[in-house]
Structure 1
Amino acid sequence: MEKKTIALGEVNHIVVTINNIHDEKVSAAPENELLPFHFEEIKDSIAQTQDVYYRRIEFTVFDEGKFTIPELEFKVGGKVLKTIPYEIDVINTAQKTDPINDIMNNKEVKLEVTDYWQLYKFYILAAIALICLVIAVILFVKYGRRKKSSPVVTTNQTLKELDSLKKKKYVESGNYRSFYVELIDISRKFIATQYRLPADVLLTDDLVDLMKKNNTISQENERVVENVFVRGDLVKFAKTFPDQQTMEKDLADITAFVKRSSKDLEFENLRKDA
């Protein structure tokens, strides 16, 4: 071994010589594969005569620390020979105060618009995408939800539900209990959505009292809701048995109330603006 202490990247070499081989074949690891990991083999030269086997390996190490070259095996005929192990110290000889010399002088390059685009295009595109996302979220929050729960949509949906109730023929068959249960459910859901009142959880008396205090629903519509809801409660507990004419009138009154609801909302908006 030439050196047992080398600098990072410094070239070192190890020489293996076997004498008196008497023309026997020498077997060992292939070229450039004799040394272990961490040892970067640069050149591996093998020469053999009738009596001498000679192998010279030039290597370097690019990691700092202590590294070991273990015993290297060479088979001569039927006999195995081993080298002694070596420990090598690899040190970093660079100092913080060492001057750093450029390979060539710095050169000023004038950048064009296209050059700036290539340098910053990903940042620009990311910023544009973020701005678009923020705008999309704002528009969705401001208009998307409002459109789905707009008064017109709610009115039309409720009118379809009332029409479906009519087609079930509860009135004609005298099934007044099922008729009023569904009519009240449809009405409560409509009031909760259209007027933002908790009609789906309040009892009839509490709901009527809240409508009168809130002043969002017109008096005409309040009377319709109160009359139909009170009658529905009486039917539910078998305290009254409405006839076909009464049932048809209640359905018509609720339908008219749903259609008139937009006027209530228009008035409420004017009152808020004032």
Structure 2
Amino acid sequence: MIKLKKLLFIFCFLICANAFSQILSSSVEKKTIALGEVNHIVITINNLNDKKVSAAPENELLPFHFEEVKDSIAQTKDIYYRRIEFAVFEEGSFKIPELEFKVDGKILKTIPYEIDVINTAKKDDQINDIMQNKEVNLEAKDYWELYKWYILAGLSVIALIVAIVMFIKWGRKAKDSPVVATNQTLKELDSLKKKKYVESGDYRSFYVELIDISRKFISRQYRLPADVLLTDDLIDLMKKNNTISQENEKVVEDVFLRGDLVKFAKTFPDKEMMEKDFTDIREFVKRSSKDLEFENLRKDA
């Protein structure tokens, strides 16, 4: 009697477990298909009890060789239904492995399938056109419609090349012209003046920035390595080069030498001296174009 009760209990437990557990089933329409023929696989999960099903996203469930044509997913409170239409474009045997579906943390798997793909076309099969070929006489308009995009693309490439050449030849020269260098330096000097180093008596910052602006200007305008040479070397080079007028050389020499003394705290200029040096450098920048005009005349002579 006790054994009978145990068997009855186990039987009821199994029935309840099956009643509330999820059941996964799958089926494939055909195990042998022709090249490019559409086949389909269906996966169904029952007894979901409103539980969420997680699986690979649409069109990503099957392996590489299986070209998914359509992937349809439907789910109700108790049933998950997925139908995938696919085709294979290579001959041979291809395996659909176990496909995993996660239901509330529990993993369910389908059984694997072997799909054979065959080429149904025979070697001696004759391929007939639906209709006979016809000769068509093309006019200039027809050729234009056929090749206009190639022609327009070619013209665009040529125009781009011309624009690049023009930019390299004239654009850079315009940016490096004496007028551009002069105007740029005058703007930098105006910015320096707005910092009011002269008014506040910050002579060291004033001379450091004033000489730095001047060195960059000499490098651009006169093509001299003023940004890397020491002051004495630069002055010596300017005198030997003869590109800068003596008046301008004197301004650069006086201001640069005074700037070096200020930098090493060997002299302490007053407000009037700082303003004079600023004005002299500004006038030197404005007069620089005359130096270049004279140099060009000397080269042409």
1:126 aligns with 2:122: no
Corresponding position of 1:233: 260
Task: Give secondary structure in 2 for the equivalent of 1:209.
Answer: helix
State the Cα distance separating 1:34 from its structure 2 match: 4.9
1:220 aligns with 2:216: no
Task: Give secondary structure in 2 for the equivalent of 1:37.
Answer: strand
State the Cα distance separating 1:236 from its structure 2 match: 1.3
State the Cα distance separating 1:92 from its structure 2 match: 5.2
Structure whose alpha-carbon radius of gyration is higher: 1
Q: 1:90 to 1:224 in 2, by over 3 A?
A: same
* 221-230 vs 136-145, which moves further: 136-145
The CA distance in 2 between the partners of 1:216 and 1:183, in whole Å, is 22
State the Cα distance separating 1:260 from its structure 2 match: 0.6
1:36 aligns with 2:7: no
The answer to whether the 8 Å contact 1:151/1:262 transfers is: yes
Corresponding position of 1:263: 290
The answer to whether the 8 Å contact 1:64/1:90 transfers is: no
The CA distance in 2 between the partners of 1:66 and 1:253, in whole Å, is 89
State the Cα distance separating 1:230 from its structure 2 match: 0.8
| Matched letter for residue 36 of structure 1 | T
State the Cα distance separating 1:204 from its structure 2 match: 0.4
State the Cα distance separating 1:89 from its structure 2 match: 9.3
Name which of 156, 178, 192 aligns with 1:165. 192
Aligned residues: 204
State the Cα distance separating 1:232 from its structure 2 match: 0.9
| Matched letter for residue 37 of structure 1 | I
The answer to whether the 8 Å contact 1:176/1:235 transfers is: yes
Q: 1:40 to 1:164 in 2, by over 3 A?
A: closer
The answer to whether the 8 Å contact 2:189/2:213 transfers is: yes
The answer to whether the 8 Å contact 1:66/1:89 transfers is: no
- Give TM-score, length-normalised by structure 2: 0.56
State the Cα distance separating 1:219 from its structure 2 match: 2.1
1:111 aligns with 2:138: yes
State the Cα distance separating 1:134 from its structure 2 match: 0.5
Corresponding position of 1:193: 220
The CA distance in 2 between the partners of 1:144 and 1:229, in whole Å, is 33
State the identity as a percent.
Answer: 71
The CA distance in 1 between the partners of 2:212 and 2:163, in whole Å, is 36
**Runs of 5+ in structure 1 lacking a partner?**
1-28, 42-62, 68-87
The answer to whether the 8 Å contact 1:176/1:247 transfers is: yes
| Matched letter for residue 153 of structure 1 | V
CA-to-aligned-CA distance 1:137-171 (integer Å, 9 cap, x gap): 11222233333333222212221222333343333
The CA distance in 2 between the partners of 1:66 and 1:142, in whole Å, is 63
State the Cα distance separating 1:272 from its structure 2 match: 4.1
- Give TM-score, length-normalised by structure 1: 0.61
Corresponding position of 2:60: none
The answer to whether the 8 Å contact 2:192/2:210 transfers is: yes
| Matched letter for residue 120 of structure 1 | Y
CA-to-aligned-CA distance 1:2-31 (integer Å, 9 cap, x gap): xxxxxxxxxxxxxxxxxxxxxxxxxxx99x
Name which of 193, 208, 230 aligns with 2:235. 208
State the Cα distance separating 1:189 from its structure 2 match: 1.5
Q: 1:89 to 1:263 in 2, by over 3 A?
A: closer
RMSD: 3.7
Q: 1:130 to 1:271 in 2, by over 3 A?
A: farther
1:180 aligns with 2:223: no
* 189-198 vs 161-170, which moves further: 161-170
The CA distance in 2 between the partners of 1:184 and 1:209, in whole Å, is 17
1:242 aligns with 2:269: yes
Corresponding position of 2:100: none
Q: 1:38 to 1:89 in 2, by over 3 A?
A: closer
| Matched letter for residue 34 of structure 2 | H
